[in-house]
Amino acid sequence: MEYSNCLREEFGLNPKMTIAEKKELQKLEERERLREAEREAEREAIKRNSAKQAKRKAEITEQMDMLAQLKDLLDMGVLIQEEFDQKKKEIMDI
């Protein structure tokens, strides 16, 4: 086998791999595919978490805006304190 590889190299050809070398290469390629799949799964998880965080932040902002509007109505005398407190609990899911 070694002799044929020497001849192949003389003619500018790549040397042949042994069966063991091919198996090792296949194992390495499979490990790399698994690592890439894990990295892709991690990227997807990060995207999902980011989307959840953005949604939650929007919900909180919306709640704060609604509370500010209710407070304005309370200050203008449109709502009484009990109505304000009830709506506040509904908005905050308390």
* Residues 34, 41: Cα–Cα separation, whole Å: 10
Over residues 60-88, the mean pLDDT reads 93
pTM metric for this prediction: 0.51
CB 70 within 8 A of CB 79: yes
Confidence grade of residue 43 (pLDDT, cut at 50, 70, 90): very high
Chain mean position to CA 84: 39
